[in-house]
Chain A
Amino acid sequence: MVAPAALRVVRCGGSSFHGARAVFSADSKQVGPGPGPGPGYLLCASGDFVKMYSVATEETLRLMGGHADLVTGIQLNPHNHVQLYSSSLDGTIKLWDFMDGIPIKTFTVGSKLLALYALASFEDSVFVVIPKRGERATFQLVSVKLTKAAGQDLEAKELSVVLDGVDASPKSIAFGREGEYVASVKEIDLQVYFFKQKQLNRFSVSAAKTKSGNNQFTCIACHPTEDCIATGHADGKIRIWRNFYHKKEYIYSTLHWHHDTVMDLAFSVEGDSLLSGGVESVLVLWHNQSECEKDFLPRLGSPIEYISMASDGTLCCTLHTDNRITIINSNLRFARSIQGLIKSADIKTGLVVDPRTKALVLNGEPGHLQFYCLQSDQQLFSLDIVQRQYIHQAGLNQADLVKVAFSARGKWLATVEEREEVTDPELQLKLWFYDEEAQSFKLNTRINMPHEDQITDLCFRDMDELEDDSVILVTTGRDRVFKVWVIVEDTDPEAQQSVSWSCDFIGSYHNYQATNCCFSEDGSLLAVSFEETVTVWDSVTWDLKCTFCHPPGKIRNICFGRLTCSKYLIGVSDDGFLCCWNLLSCALEWSAHLNILVLQPDPLSEYIAAVSWLSKESSLFVFKPNEPRPIYIQRNLCREKIQLAAFIPRDEPETVGSEKYLWLRRSQLFFLTDTQELMTLSTKSLQERLTPASKQLAVEESLPVTPFSLLLGKHRRQQSQDDIDLGKLFVRNKCEQDSPAVKELLHTPAHVLPSASFLCPIFINSLLISKENKSAEEVADEVEMESEKPEDDSDEERDVTEMEQENTSPLELFGEMTCKLPKSQEKELRKIRKVDYSWISAF
């Protein structure tokens, strides 16, 4: 099924939305899936892709890829509302049909495109910002004539410069009402160019630096109906400019609420109100451009990067610096938010896998832990760990989450938060208990200052048996000790049995800083690294068993081997050595000279992945501890430094063609780069991975829902599912719904139809026919249900269950028939073919 193709590095989430403002699809023409009017889709640039979201369901409907570099601008085609222009750093403008996700045309401009503007008043040209030839860091706004010639790939070389010396940011240029003028800001200058008069006016504000910052321009917005320009400044002021036809007699008024840079401005569709946002993560609505009338939408979570309005004014959306999209109602009510992988300033927690949901867990919003679902590229939920109001202000030192660990079954969660400060550092260890009823984690114990200095690592004892109260947590700290925490039951005899955590043992080794800790697979041994030395402790008596070291390197990471390799201990030292010690002989088994940054054992197999960083490229090594030769090497994994990696167990083992990729069978390796892009290794091509799901969704989404279609649609959908399940077998069934009786019933005008009593038997009959068919459907449903069950048992077992299924019911096998057809199944197929389908021809 899978060709033994080379492994490809696939980006699977976390791309930044920072390319451009998001765009709402035009309303009215199409019926949105949600109740009531309003735009149905939201489009935004995400890395090299353009993503389309459903506003109603927050789901990613389509991913439009084709650009070779970052997408810098997207605009709806002002003359056709289902088309979209997108520009990219790779020098092309693409025209998309976003309803179908097809690129219609590609215009090659030739130089980097930094922003894109499309206007209704300019028939066949768009405006782009390009770097000026021969000069660095100077940009110009040019208009590009898009030729109407046939063909997919076209050259667009007809450029005419409109404005010179503009800023590269897409927020620094805005077009006035009906495209009469264009305004651009750069540093302290505002330029306004009138197209008709061909007149350029320049204004500038004083460059005086005030206490709160300078008053450089940061963004600009033009009033949709009046001659009025709003500009945002770095010191938090908003200036409203009027009468700017005159070079001298222009007037401006100032609105000041923001205490820091105004990041973006947007006028409402009628122009009676102005929206502004900034670092404070508060969306401010200014009524009638007056200082006193304003409304706020506070605590949006993170600084606002872009604000965009829907063309009918019912919705607006804000893009945040942490890659979140918030959709806001016209009455300034929070509607919903679309969140993928939330980007946080610094991922200190590492990539952790939640054993319960198999979600990736890492730092989210400040002080929160995000559970990110890889399958749907959505945030499952965000757990508030710090539980304090986060103040969005630069230079504030606020508590953040630094370490996270889950117990083996996900019953306990341990988090460490700290606030670095010289005088009184705050450190808290929190233990959370998973509450089955509430389906979320509840705080069980909070320990203030568990260590006197930073906590460097923590781990639970991974006992795979039923988790009773024998769970042990180990924390290592810079205060040169490691501590063992255990569950104790409350002493109060009458209180309901509640448990809490307390310290059981404190261990140290020659007064060295403890840096890492790790339990062996069976939980009997604890390895703690103290700078250069790895110490191994008995987890029952807490006796020091033995020590390993590889001087002069300090230990960066340690892990135990698993399954067949459980007698090995792997350590990585910061002088560039990977060492493997044998725990039975207490000797060094082998070592390799590699600068390993990330060491990640697969929880389901004995393979260990190591990512090295050498001369500007990351390489991946996969090895088994019992042999020094790696099983798989991928050089030049990516250009960025890889910070973190995690193995995520697959729902069911993948069939892997080549022996080389056997390590990918049970779990999938994900890694996160410096720029917080989540990558994975895959043998499948991108199309295979993405298209089927999204296509199906789009079809259903675009269907108008009527009672009748509900009645028939359900019927039809099941039919189509059958077709998929049974391959070509039931192709003939299709004619059932096209059968003359039903067709006549549906297409004949109501006034010529015979009486209902006459039609009823025919229609009922048509339904009855499918009754036999339905039983097959039901079986198919059952098969589906079964395959949904997590199957983490080994492949052999799987085969056995298949055999059993064969014996019980031949029909159950249909779901798998398309995959492979062993002889026994082919026999079954033949049997089915022999069944008489002549009843179908009755119609």
Chain B
Amino acid sequence: MATYKPVVVQAIPKLGERITQDTLYWRGYKTPVQIKEFGAVNKIDFSPVSPYNYAVTASSRIHIYGRYSQEPIKTFSRFKDAAYCATYRDDGNLLVAGSEEGSIRLFDLSGRAPLRQFDGPTKAVHVVGFLSDKYRIFSGGDDYSSNLWDIPSGTEIVSYNEHTDYVRCGCASKVNADVFITGSYDHTVKLFDARTEGSVMTIEHGHPVESVLLFPSGGLLVSAGGRYVKVWDVLKGGQLLVSLKNHHKTVTCLCLNSSGQRLLSGSLDRHVKVYSTTSYKVVHSFNYATSILSLALSPEDETIVVGMTNGVLNVKHRKPEERKENSQNKRQPAYRTYVKGRTYVPKQEDFCVSKPVKHVLRKYDKMLKSFQSSKALDAVLEPPIRLYTPEVTVAVMQELHRRGTLRSALAGRDEKQINLLLTFVARRVIEPRFTPVLVTVADMITDIYQPVVGQSAVVDRQFVKLQEAIGKEIDYQEELLEVLGMMDTLFATFTKKTATYVEEKKSNGLTETIETNMNN
């Protein structure tokens, strides 16, 4: 014997953004804190040790911010011109920064004056960083060179002059203390080994390289330049793994999250995109007010800090995990009665007797079960259902229509209820998923209440509104049909060409792969 089957509410797949685990995760940030800097923020770096302060390089200053402070807790401002690329050492004690005048300065976080100053480059040094042995510094500048410096002696160890344009980004390997990479505006990324004379590997990015990144494992290399983010397999000799083109302006910065599962890229098009590093698909995207120059993510993804071209620093903190302690407290007295034995996990030899599940019917289902059509319709015309889940209302209307009782359910209503019904119909009838049903409903309402038209001003106004809505929709549909006709004629003329077009594309793809192979 069958039980009562509840009304099936048609779920329509939602267009646009799909809610995934990622969207939930990345949406879990509070409203951003905006901090105004003196100039474009070109670098943000988080201290690798607790309490995870971060250094912001903007104009001629380096500000150190605490986790929740909106005022800098420390400032290094001994630069004559712009400072660049303030970067923490692994232990969080030292900070190095390049500058426009060409000197590289090493700061102690507790002191104010620089510990060391490396002079040598004649032009601006845009990128500096520590190698993973902590005692050497690499740098790259506008004099096309990549240099390596020794901290204890404060001298240059080696200088590579292989790039043919400005060196604007770089990164040190965390695995090998001798390896670092630099990216340059000459469209290449070069991998250097401090033990050798020249570069070990050259990767052709195809656009001026704005940012490079090595995965913690050291096996994968990410380069950003132009509109592209490209991932390369270093261990396979720099083979292109994937090329991502999700921004529509130059990509300026790259960042990995703490787990290494997600790659973030910021761009001048005001977006930060989050990629999965397994599938390299965009899983989430952030919008910002202006073009993004720098981006950093704190350990445990607690904070996202984004620097803009207009000098605004945008700081987002993660919302604290919500704990439902309150509800727990409420249930405590009943715990023994209701939760007793629920946590018991049956053993393998236990014979489980499951309690029949009690299905709780919604109110409208209860009414439909007992064939009370009017009451069922009343139940779904209540505000929460009518306003937030109109599909339920429409599903019940359809069910009533199917049972042949829709007319009697609609009939015999007073002014207020008709007003309500008509408002709902006029508002929703133009939604394609509801149109078939609501047209029938509108038809019936006009049929039933035709004799009383003119007796109530409120109802009359609603009828006019309905008419307007339908009229507008018809005009709209006509226009759409016109467009469709135009498109059809266009497509008809194109049909013969498509075949050759496809072939062309294929050949292009082939040459591309050949090119990359040659480059490697």
Contacts and interface: CB of A to CB of B under 8 A. Distances in A.
A387 B437 contact: no
B281 A299 contact: no
A542 to B, nearest CB: 14
A804 interface: no
Contacts of B18: 492
Nearest to A399: B402
A369 to B, nearest CB: 14
A391 B21 CA distance: 42
Contacts of B5: 384, 387-389
Interface in A370-398: 384, 387-389, 391, 393, 395-398
A396 B403 contact: yes
B456 interface: no
A448 B402 CA distance: 17
A393 B436 CA distance: 24
A493 interface: yes
Nearest to A492: B20
A423 interface: yes
Most A CB contacts (10 A, CB to CB) among B2, B20, B276, B436 go to B2
Size class of the A contact interface (CB-based, 8 Å)? 20 to 34
B283 A299 contact: no
B278 interface: yes
Nearest to A448: B10
B1 A300 contact: yes
Interface in A395-451: 395-399, 419, 423-424, 448
A778 to B, nearest CB: 28
Given A391-B403, A396-B403, A494 B4 contact: no
Contact of A419 (B283, B368, B402, B439): B402
A334 interface: yes
Nearest to A337: B1
B358 to A, nearest CB: 17
A760 interface: no
A301 interface: yes
A120 interface: no
A396 B404 contact: yes
A493 B281 contact: yes
Contacts of A419: 402
A389 B276 contact: no
B1 A494 contact: no
A495 interface: yes
Contacts of B281: 491, 493
A581 to B, nearest CB: 29
A387 B8 contact: yes
B455 interface: no
A491 B13 CA distance: 14
A5 interface: no
Most A CB contacts (10 A, CB to CB) among B5, B18, B369 go to B5
Contact of A423 (B8, B276, B279, B440): B440
Nearest to A328: B1
Interface in A475-518: 491-495
Contacts of A326: 1
B3 interface: yes
Nearest to A395: B404
Interface string B427-445: 0000000001101100000
Contacts of B3: 299
A448 B437 CA distance: 14
A448 B8 CA distance: 13
Interface string B260-279: 00000000000000001011
Contact of A388 (B1, B8, B21, B436): B8
A6 interface: no
Interface in B235-293: 276, 278-279, 281, 283
Contacts of B22: 494
B283 A493 contact: yes
Contacts of B1: 297, 299-301, 326, 334, 337
A661 to B, nearest CB: 43
Interface in B11-61: 18, 20-22
A389 B4 contact: yes
B21 A301 contact: no
A494 B283 contact: yes
A183 B480 CA distance: 72
Given A419-B402, A423-B440, A424-B440, A301 B20 contact: no
A494 B3 CA distance: 37
Contact of B276 (A300, A424, A493): A493
A493 B8 contact: no
Contacts of B21: 494
A493 B279 contact: yes
B8 to A, nearest CB: 6
A396 B437 CA distance: 17
Nearest to A326: B1
Contacts of B403: 391, 393, 396
Most A CB contacts (10 A, CB to CB) among B4, B21, B402 go to B402
A639 B7 CA distance: 44
Nearest to B25: A494
Nearest to B435: A424
Contacts of B368: 389
Contacts of A398: 402
Given A388-B8, A389-B4, A493 B278 contact: yes
Most B CB contacts (10 A, CB to CB) among A301, A384, A389, A491 go to A389
A393 B18 CA distance: 42
Interface string B359-370: 000000000110
Nearest to B443: A423
Contacts of B7: 388-389
Nearest to B280: A493
A814 B395 CA distance: 65
A532 B4 CA distance: 46
A299 B440 CA distance: 29
Contacts of A393: 403-404
A327 to B, nearest CB: 11
B2 A301 contact: yes
Contacts of B404: 393, 395-396
A423 B439 CA distance: 10
Nearest to A500: B13
A334 B2 CA distance: 10
B10 A424 contact: no
Contact of A424 (B8, B278, B369, B437): B437
B105 to A, nearest CB: 43
A424 B403 CA distance: 14
A492 B2 CA distance: 37
Contacts of A491: 281
Contacts of A388: 5, 7-8, 399, 402
A494 B275 CA distance: 11
B256 to A, nearest CB: 17
Given A396-B404, A424-B436, A299 B4 contact: yes
Contact of B20 (A299, A334, A495): A495
Nearest to A299: B2
Contacts of A493: 276, 278-279, 281, 283
Nearest to B403: A391
A397 B437 CA distance: 15
B440 A494 contact: no
24 contacts: A297-B1, A299-B3, A301-B1, A337-B1, A387-B5, A388-B5, A388-B399, A389-B4, A389-B5, A391-B402, A393-B403, A396-B402, A398-B402, A399-B402, A419-B402, A424-B436, A424-B440, A448-B10, A492-B18, A493-B279, A493-B283, A494-B21, A494-B276, A495-B20
Q: Sort A-B residue pairs by CB-CB distance and give the 8 closest, nearest first.
A: A493-B279, A424-B436, A334-B1, A389-B5, A299-B2, A493-B281, A493-B276, A492-B20
Given A399-B402, A491-B281, A494-B22, 12 more contacts: A297-B1, A299-B1, A326-B1, A388-B7, A393-B403, A393-B404, A424-B440, A492-B18, A493-B276, A493-B281, A494-B276, A495-B20
Interface of B: 1-5, 7-8, 10, 18, 20-22, 276, 278-279, 281, 283, 368-369, 399, 402-404, 436-437, 439-440
